Amino acid sequence: MIKIFGDPISGNCLKVKWTCERLRIPFTWQDVDIMQGETRTPSFLSMNPAGQVPTVLLDDGRPLAQSSAILLHLSQGSDLIPPDSYDRAKMLEWLFWEQYSHEPAVAVARFQVKYLGKAPGELDSKLVERSHAALKRLDDALAGADYLVAGRLTLADISLVAYTRMAGDAGFSLADYPAVDAWVSRIEAELPIREPR
CA distance 41 to 38: 6
Q: Determine the interface stretch with a copy of itself among 17-25, 95-103, 113-121, 164-172 (rule: CB under 8 A).
A: 95-103
* Residue 115 in contact with a copy of itself, rule: CB under 8 A: no
37 in Cβ contact with 91 (< 8 Å): no
CA distance 62 to 129: 40
CA distance 46 to 40: 10
Bridge partners of 5?
30, 55
The residue count of the chain comes to 197
Tell me, residue by residue from 157 to 196, as one string, x for binding to a copy of itself by CB under 8 A and - for no binding.
Answer: ----------------------------------------
CA distance 111 to 95: 20
* Residue 40 in contact with a copy of itself, rule: CB under 8 A: no
* Residue 90 in contact with a copy of itself, rule: CB under 8 A: yes
* Residue 2 in contact with a copy of itself, rule: CB under 8 A: no
Among 66, 147, 168, 190, binds a copy of itself (CB under 8 A): 66
Residues that bind a copy of itself (CB under 8 A): 49-50, 52, 58, 62, 64-70, 72-73, 76, 85-86, 88-90, 92-93, 95-97, 99-101, 103-104, 137, 140-141
